Amino acid sequence: MARFGRFWMRSSCLHSRPSARRGIDEGKTDIDKMSGSHLKGGTLKRLGMVILGVLLVSCGGEEAQRQGGRGGEPGGRRGGRQAAAAIPVKVETAAKSEISKSVLKNTTLEAERWVDVRARRPGQVVRILKEEGDPVKVGDVIAELDSDDARLQVRQMEVAHLEAKRNFARVEKIFKSNLVSEEQFETAKTGLDRSGAQLEQAQLNLSYTRITSPIGGIVTLRSVEIGNVVASNQVVFSVADFDPLLARIRVPEKEIGKIAVGQEARISVETGDEQKFSGRVKMISPVVDPESGTIKVTVEIPGNQQFLRPGMFASVYIITETRNDALVIPKKALVLEGEGNQVFVFERGESGGKATRTRIDIGFTDSDRLEVLSGLNEGDQVITVGQDGLRPGSDVRIVGETAAASASKGKGGGRGQGGNAPQKSGAEGHPGSEGGRVASVSEAGSGGGGQGRGGGDIKAMQARMFERFPEMKKVYDERVKTEPDLATDVDKFRAFIREMREKGIVTFGQRGR
């Protein structure tokens, strides 16, 4: 009987854990059955009531111990949820600066002078003195052709010319003595002139074996090699003068009234470091192109040969008005959703950062900045990276700073109440809903739970999410093709989860669609 009683009490306690009250009800029912089916008399009924009392005390102690052991769960869950909610962002400060209003046009840069150097006579290339990129001056020799035949021809013409000079001198002396006719004298003189011209031609042909640069600048092309035989008028080199460079743009006739010769211009090129250069309007065409309705404007850019090259794609800003004390923010801070111009402002509080959406009015703009007329104050921090998908009031943190939310501590359970034996404090917290699955770290509170499970391994996190939400897996497979970091970057994957929640693809507390 005693063994039966202990077994029955233990079984009743195990089945009664969902509720102490339910255990009492079940205990009463079992005792009634025992009393009615197996036991007779009031004594046995009183014995049953004693057993029930022991059951209540035992079950109460176990329940209290179990609650004490789980004491860390709420703290771990709340801490994990707060850590997951802090979205990493980058910010820049609204500050006073100079900004200008301008007419923007795109074009390619050109050299003011660009020539093709051609061979003036046929011949074989025997020497190359300049390479692409080398600077040259006017008259510098850049290549030489074989000159043997040209030198021989010059020598022959020199001999012929010397003979003609001697013949003319003899005829002239005789002519003065009236021993020859005037016709003979003129013939000798013509022969001398002809031989002189032939000598000059031979000397010129010899000079053509030395190919020289007609302008000063930079060698931009070498199209021959030593040993090549070139034809007369064949292009062998190209030379360009990079100082100044020119940007020729087409401006609609309705905007030409804003532009004048000498007006300042700024030039931006895609060199990787977003350098800007200065220039001035050199010339405005006097005619309008009847087909396009535009006027050609030439901008001169001096003194930047080491950074700029002909053929570079450039954005030309012809400045029409400047403000020296404007409140300026980066263009990339603008939120590309909703109506009007909006930005997210980072506001720091005791519990961490918050994102506040603010509508702004815009004044002047340039290539990468804009003027704020209203909606912001100097010193406000606007979110420039990570603002896509944010909602007003979202918890955010600046990249590189510790999230305030991750430092919040959850309160753990204390000692169990109602048991006779000493109870254990809260141990490891169980994962919560969203926070326990997504957060990687949550500090334990005093006497409370430890770290929430499930956030440290991104592969495990992805596997759990994809199993629950197959539609999310389809979106992920497409997204990771263009954003491979999504597969390894925990912060990016958390942001992806938040995006899926906002679109209704992920709904925690329910199975996936």
pTM of the complete model: 0.48
| pLDDT at residue 182, rounded to an integer | 87
| pLDDT at residue 24, rounded to an integer | 41
Kindly state the percentage of the chain with pLDDT values over 70. Answer: 70
| pLDDT at residue 149, rounded to an integer | 93
**Would you place residue 197 in the very low, low, confident or very high pLDDT band (cuts 50, 70, 90)?**
very high
For the segment 218-232, the average pLDDT, to the nearest whole number, is 95
- Residue owning tokens 């209704």: 504
**Would you place residue 216 in the very low, low, confident or very high pLDDT band (cuts 50, 70, 90)?**
very high
Mean pLDDT of the chain: 76
How far does the chain reach from its first CA to its final CA, in angstroms?
A: 55
Residue with more model confidence, 82 or 384: 384
| pLDDT at residue 390, rounded to an integer | 86
**Would you place residue 273 in the very low, low, confident or very high pLDDT band (cuts 50, 70, 90)?**
low
DSSP-derived secondary structure for 349-370: ETTEEEEEEEEEEEEEE-SSEE
pLDDT at 146 over 90: yes
387 contacts 89 by C-beta, under 8 angstroms: yes
| pLDDT at residue 115, rounded to an integer | 94
**Would you place residue 180 in the very low, low, confident or very high pLDDT band (cuts 50, 70, 90)?**
confident
| pLDDT at residue 402, rounded to an integer | 60
Residue with more model confidence, 274 or 196: 196
| pLDDT at residue 274, rounded to an integer | 64
Tell me how many degrees the CA angle 305-306-310 measures, rounded to the nearest 5: 50
Residue with more model confidence, 353 or 80: 353
Hey, what domains does the chain have and what are their CATH numbers? 2-69 (no CATH), 70-85+409-456 (no CATH), 87-102+324-406 (2.40.420.20), 103-109+237-322 (2.40.30.170), 113-233 (1.10.287.470), 458-513 (no CATH)
Residue with more model confidence, 7 or 151: 151
| pLDDT at residue 136, rounded to an integer | 95
Residues 6+ apart with CB under 8 A from 283: 261, 297, 298
**Would you place residue 107 in the very low, low, confident or very high pLDDT band (cuts 50, 70, 90)?**
very high
CA-CA distance, 335 to 56, in Å (whole number)?
A: 62
| pLDDT at residue 433, rounded to an integer | 37
| pLDDT at residue 50, rounded to an integer | 44
| pLDDT at residue 307, rounded to an integer | 81
pLDDT at 299 over 90: yes
Range ranked top by mean pLDDT from 57-71, 280-294, 386-400, 473-487:
280-294
Q: Convert the pLDDT of each residue in 312-328 to its tens digit.
A: 899 999 988 889 999 99
Q: Report which of 71, 43, 72, 55 is spatially closest to residue 17, judged by C-alpha positions.
A: 55
For the segment 281-303, the average pLDDT, to the nearest whole number, is 93
| pLDDT at residue 388, rounded to an integer | 82
Two tokens, residue 178 = 């009236």
CA torsion through residues 366, 369, 372, 378, sign:
negative
Residues 6+ apart with CB under 8 A from 486: 476, 479, 480, 492, 493, 496
pLDDT at 251 over 80: yes
Residue with more model confidence, 468 or 5: 468
CA-CA distance, 43 to 49, in Å (whole number)?
A: 10
For the segment 327-344, the average pLDDT, to the nearest whole number, is 88
Residues 6+ apart with CB under 8 A from 131: 219, 222
Q: Convert the pLDDT of each residue in 11-21 to its tens digit.
A: 444 444 444 44
Q: For helices 2-15 and 20-37, give the axis angle rounded to 10 degrees.
A: 140
pLDDT at 379 over 70: yes
**Would you place residue 46 in the very low, low, confident or very high pLDDT band (cuts 50, 70, 90)?**
low
Could you write out the three-class secondary structure of 137-172? CCCCEEEEECCHHHHHHHHHHHHHHHHHHHHHHHHH
| pLDDT at residue 218, rounded to an integer | 92
For the segment 328-335, the average pLDDT, to the nearest whole number, is 93
Residue with more model confidence, 431 or 279: 279
**Would you place residue 51 in the very low, low, confident or very high pLDDT band (cuts 50, 70, 90)?**
low
Q: Report which of 490, 425, 499 is spatially closest to residue 83, judged by C-alpha positions.
A: 490
List phi, psi (to 5°) of 276. Answer: -120, 145
